[in-house]
Amino acid sequence: METISKNKISSSKGKITPLGTILKPLNADYGRVDTEWGYVGIMLTFMVLFAIFLTIILEIYNSSIILNS
């Protein structure tokens, strides 16, 4: 972003704010590709557990599972 003011050309990259300074580490790895599997196993485990939970809730709603004797 260039601004021309009284024969002076200044090139500014934007306003520096406290929030931007705090969030800068989150954006530091932008564009970098991680080749490892990372948290895929944990994410898959929680997705399966959530699917089982939803199945149980659906069966209770459809009265397939009776909670009372």
pLDDT digits (tens, 9 = 90+) for 34-53: 778 888 999 999 999 999 99
CA distances 33 to 15, 39, 59, Å, are: 28, 14, 41
Q: Which SS3 state, helix, strand or coil, does residue 62 take?
A: coil
Task: Show me where the domains of the chain are located.
Answer: 2-61
- Tell me, what's the pLDDT at 8? 62
Average pLDDT, the chain: 82
pLDDT confidence of 5, banded at 50, 70, 90?
low
Chain position carrying tokens 């939803």: 54
pLDDT (mean) for 11-15: 77
CATH of 2-61, one of 3.30.70.1140, 3.30.530.20, 3.30.750.24, 1.20.5.880: 1.20.5.880
Long-range contacts of residues 45-51, Cβ cutoff 8 Å, at least 24 apart: none
pLDDT confidence of 54, banded at 50, 70, 90?
very high
Identify whether the C-beta of residue 45 lies closer than 8 Å to the C-beta of residue 37: no
